[in-house]
Copies of this chain bind each other. A is one copy, B any other.
Amino acid sequence: MQAEVQGLSRRDRLRAATSQEIIQVARQLLVTEGSAAMSLRAIAREMGMTAPALYRYYPSLEDLARHVVADIFSELSAAIEAAIAADGAGSAAGSAPATAAALITACRAFRTWATGHQAEFGLIFGSPLPGAAGPDDPLAECGITFGGIYLRLVTQLWRITGFGVPADDELAEALRPQLARYRDRLLSDLPLGVLQVFLRCWVLLYGTVSLEVFGHLKFALEDSEPMFDLMLSDLASMVGLTYPLP
């Protein structure tokens, strides 16, 4: 993470540290006081500075917010990777059961993090932040990293078990070229059907978790965990697994 710190002047290191501290302070405000309290002046107050000083580090509050979201997004990815690593410590890496367990663990970790970080989750996965994403948008990279975790697991599982996926000519006509472009962007040689399965899993996972976190299931259920479990069994059957895992 801090590998490129080498070669920076002392000043640049201080600057980077301050930039990071601003993000952390902003995030703490977000968590403790709500997203509306993440104001430039509040952040400055909390840091013992005046508001205009923050403009030395970020060109606008909106840009600062994007970096906060990127920071949170990275932490989410790290949390999921950590859960995978902790869970898979016992079994042989690369085996089919280990990969299957890792995938389930990754899904569970996503829900656990989301329910434990509702404000942050809303910022990442709720309505998109206003403001066009620039070419150096830190968010795009975070999204790719995050999605890459699940894509890697699904891919790995398919390479091992070869679970059933629709052949290219069985895909919807409107979907095939889009999946092909997506595959090109990934520099991959997977069958398009694997990508389709991957995207369907993502729809299922995202829908279940954000429905729960945003409270749009409360009209029926107090505890959404059983519904999440049902979703996991659907997801498992999509990738040729049975849930609960044997």
Residues of chain B within 8 A of A140, CB atoms compared: 219
The answer to whether A226 touches B127 (Cβ under 8 A) is: no
Dominant secondary structure of chain A at its interface with chain B:
helix
Least Cβ–Cβ distance between A168 and chain B, in angstroms: 14
A195 touches B211 (CB 8 A): no
Interface set, chain A 204-246, CB cutoff 8 A to B: 204, 206-208, 210-211, 214-217, 219-223, 225-227, 229-231
**CA–CA, A210 and B211, complex, Å:** 10
* Residues on the B chain within 8 Å of A196, using CB: 230
The answer, yes or no, to whether A55 is at the interface (CB within 8 Å) is no
Given the interface contacts A127-B122, A214-B128, does A207 sit within 8 Å of B199 by beta carbon? no
Given A126-B126, A126-B127, A127-B122, check contact A178 B214 (CB 8 Å). no
- Given A175-B226, A196-B230, 9 more A-B residue pairs with CB atoms under 8 Å apart are A35-B127, A123-B127, A125-B216, A126-B126, A126-B127, A126-B214, A128-B214, A178-B222, A203-B208
